[in-house]
């Protein structure tokens, strides 16, 4: 994962613009501590901060196509870059073995259609010296962050994080996921518009295809020339990703699994307060799949002390994001200290399969599906924002196989009736059934628990207590006077917003953060499903008491049933 800034159409001197780009790039250097590079011309300046993951020796950026006269800065990973070489019709002057260089030559031959050809996570800016045009694009879901802004003189700026634009731009906004923007078009153009986003899928699930699709996503995302690891919360999603990665850890993915892996020991990481619920379960998963496991234990005070830094890095005041992002931010620092530069994580499964507890209340398959679609396309503001920026704060890259474009398109084509979990039926049932031999039954059928709950219940309670001490009832009642835009609806949200506004000065910065009547499910649609959600202002999963208790009873009965079906030794052999 890297960081970059771009300045296009500037009116000032090149020397001034270049100097500004260098200063802006310093604000995102944490994303790419390995090397810095800059390209400048009369029409554009691109500054890049590199985290070297693939082709460590030769992949420095910006990348140049000297034949076509184009420069490129990329933050991301293109997993299918080797296969894409076959799509090229012309000879090109390759300079590196980097996965990102393919973008230059695909753009040369296919133009904006390059976006649909890429399987990966990316944000990039490309400048054409001959035409003076620039082209900026972001991946399908917004796994990689990107912001765009405009100066009072009409100059266009882009940056990997908003902080680089603060104090420079008059207006700032999030670059929309699945879109591209060019000077020639002068507008955002949607390039990712899957059919499942507009129609009700009717495809019957194949558990084998579901399994093989996820395994393929994990396998291709293990493309890496540096030590990597897996995050394990002890829940279903991260445990599945970790277990699948463990199956392929002995061979080098880049060789088609024909060569020995450079880093055959797979390291896993979990985080929590002392004796947190997640830590025990994560320990069991790590033992089952055979990783070198590391437990990062933090204290409540350490978490509270980190809040200003967390908000500065995550660039949000969303309650759920900060609650979960703080432990992740602390864990990332420990991960980096151990020499790990990339981790696989389990974000996205709850959105794809309807794993949040309020999905039990969905009245129909159509409404269930519509809500999964809405949540997937909001991920750039929530879980993708948290996972990427919390890790990137310490120069670690997070990859999320559940949001792999090809896997996502298959999983979202499944008839939502097969994903539903009415009454006491456990959520994400088809996902669990597809991997019955991969994990211990107690993990496979574990009840959904939000990450911020699982790291230790006293963490959330301490955050609430801190907010109560900082924000009075009157302050909250008059919140709209102090914060007329994106007005916080809880004391905790108010507390985070005061920290946010003390960091970011641009009056449009707050508009990049969503605020709703209930952050718990963040959607008017779901409020119609339950009066409990309509009145709830606490995003903790524990607040859904009825569903939580019913589901826990169900899970216990399933665990008791399944634990007698196969000896633990057989399950370990299957996982390996």
Query: For 173, phi and psi rounded to 5 degrees?
Result: -150, 160
Tell me which residues of the chain have a pLDDT lower than 70. Answer: 1, 58-59, 448-454, 456, 516-528, 530-576
Query: For 182, phi and psi rounded to 5 degrees?
Result: -140, 160
Rounded CA gap, 146 and 181, in Å? 12
Q: What is the pLDDT of residue 456?
A: 64
Q: Is 284 exposed, middle or buried (0-12, 13-18, 19+ CB in 10 A)?
A: middle
Rounded CA gap, 443 and 511, in Å? 39
Active-site residue, 385 included:
no
Catalytic residue (choose from 2, 100, 169, 384): 2
Q: Which sequence spans correspond to the domains of the chain?
A: 3-193, 207-459+546-575
pTM summary value: 0.91
Q: Which two tokens stand for residue 31?
A: 């994303």
Q: Which residues sit opposite 267 in a β-bridge? A: 229, 292
Distances (CA, A) of 398 to 50, 98, 353, 385, 404: 15, 18, 21, 11, 13
pLDDT digits (tens, 9 = 90+) for 389-414: 999 999 999 999 999 999 999 999 99
Q: What is the pLDDT of residue 366?
A: 96
- Residue 397 in contact with residue 391, Cβ under 8 Å? yes
Distances (CA, A) of 15 to 9, 44, 522: 14, 11, 46
Q: What is the pLDDT of residue 28?
A: 98
Show Cβ contacts of residue 86 under 8 Å, excluding neighbours closer than 6 positions: none
Rounded CA gap, 319 and 84, in Å? 41
Q: Hunting for tokens 């996921």 — which residue is that?
A: 177
Rounded CA gap, 397 and 32, in Å? 10
- Residue 58 in contact with residue 98, Cβ under 8 Å? yes
Rg (CA), the chain: 23
Show Cβ contacts of residue 347 under 8 Å, excluding neighbours closer than 6 positions: 237, 379, 383, 384, 386, 387, 398, 400, 402, 403
3-state helix, strand, coil in the chain (%, to 5): 45, 15, 40
Show Cβ contacts of residue 200 under 8 Å, excluding neighbours closer than 6 positions: 365, 366, 369, 416
* Separate counts of helices (H) and strands (E) for the chain: 24, 17
CATH, domain range 207-459+546-575: 3.40.50.620
Rounded CA gap, 59 and 65, in Å? 14
Rounded CA gap, 233 and 449, in Å? 10
Q: Which residues sit opposite 292 in a β-bridge? A: 267
- Regarding the domain with residue range 3-193, which homologous superfamily does it belong to in the CATH classification? Aminohydrolase, N-terminal nucleophile (Ntn) domain (3.60.20.10)
> How many CB atoms lie under 10 A from the CB of residue 342?
25
Q: What is the mean pLDDT of the chain?
A: 89
Q: What is the pLDDT of residue 549?
A: 47
């Amino acid at each position: 994962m890297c960081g970059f800034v771009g300045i296009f159409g500037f009116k000032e001197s090149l020397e001034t613009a270049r100097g500004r780009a260098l200063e802006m790039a310093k604000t995102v250097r944490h994303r790419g501590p390995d090397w810095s590079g800059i390209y400048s011309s009369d029409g554009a300046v691109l500054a890049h901060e590199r985290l070297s993951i693939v082709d460590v020796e030769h992949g420095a950026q910006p990348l140049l196509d000297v034949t076509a006269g184009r420069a490129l800065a990329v933050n991301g990973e293109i997993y299918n870059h080797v296969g894409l070489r076959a799509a090229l019709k012309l000879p090109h002057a390759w300079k590196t073995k980097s996965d990102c260089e393919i973008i230059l030559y695909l753009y040369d031959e296919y133009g904006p259609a390059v976006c649909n050809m890429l399987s990966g996570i990316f944000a990039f800016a490309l400048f054409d010296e001959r035409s003076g045009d620039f082209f900026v694009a972001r991946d399908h879901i917004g796994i990689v962050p990107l912001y765009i802004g405009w100066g009072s003189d009409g100059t266009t700026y882009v940056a990997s994080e908003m902080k680089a634009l603060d104090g420079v731009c008059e207006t700032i906004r999030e670059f929309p996921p699945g879109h591209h923007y060019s000077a020639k078009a002068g507008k955002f153009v949607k390039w990712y518009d899957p059919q499942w986003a507009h129609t009700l899928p009717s495809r019957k699930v194949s558990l084998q295809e579901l399994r093989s699709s996820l395994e393929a996503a994990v396998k291709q995302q293990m493309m890496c020339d540096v030590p990597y690891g897996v995050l394990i919360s002890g829940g279903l999603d991260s445990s599945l990703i970790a277990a699948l990665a463990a199956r392929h850890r002995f061979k080098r993915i880049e060789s088609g699994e024909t060569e020995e892996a450079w880093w055959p020991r797979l390291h896993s990481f979990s985080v929590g307060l002392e004796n947190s619920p997640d830590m025990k379960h994560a320990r069991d998963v790590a033992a089952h799949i055979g990783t070198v496991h590391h437990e990062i234990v933090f204290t409540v005070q350490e978490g509270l002390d980190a809040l200003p830094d967390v908000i500065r890095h995550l660039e949000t005041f969303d309650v759920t994001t900060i609650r979960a992002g703080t432990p992740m931010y602390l864990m990332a620092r420990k991960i980096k200290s151990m020499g790990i530069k990339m981790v696989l994580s389990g974000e996205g499964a709850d959105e794809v399969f309807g794993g949040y507890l309020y999905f039990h209340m969905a009245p129909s398959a159509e409404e269930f599906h519509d809500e999964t679609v809405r949540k997937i396309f909001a991920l750039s503001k929530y879980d993708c924002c948290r996972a990427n920026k919390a890790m990137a704060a310490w120069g670690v890259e997070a990859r999320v196989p559940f949001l792999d474009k090809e896997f996502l398109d298959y999983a979202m084509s499944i008839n939502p009736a097969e994903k539903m979990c009415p009454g006491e039926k456990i959520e994400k049932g088809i996902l669990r059934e597809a991997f019955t031999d991969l994990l211990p039954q107690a993990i496979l059928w574990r009840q959904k628990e939000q990450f911020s709950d699982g790291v230790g219940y006293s963490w959330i309670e301490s955050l609430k207590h801190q907010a109560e001490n900082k924000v009075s009832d009157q302050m909250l009642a008059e919140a709209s006077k102090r914060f007329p835009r994106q007005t916080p609806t809880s004391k905790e949200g108010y507390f985070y917003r005061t920290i946010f506004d003390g960091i970011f000065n641009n009056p449009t910065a707050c508009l990049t953060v969503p605020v709703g009547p209930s952050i718990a499910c963040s959607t008017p649609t779901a409020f119609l499903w339950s009066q409990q959600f309509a009145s709830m202002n606490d995003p903790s999963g524990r607040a859904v008491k009825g569903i939580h208790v019913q589901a826990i009873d169900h899970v216990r009965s399933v665990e008791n049933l399944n634990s007698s079906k196969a000896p633990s030794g057989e399950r370990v052999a299957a996982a390996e």
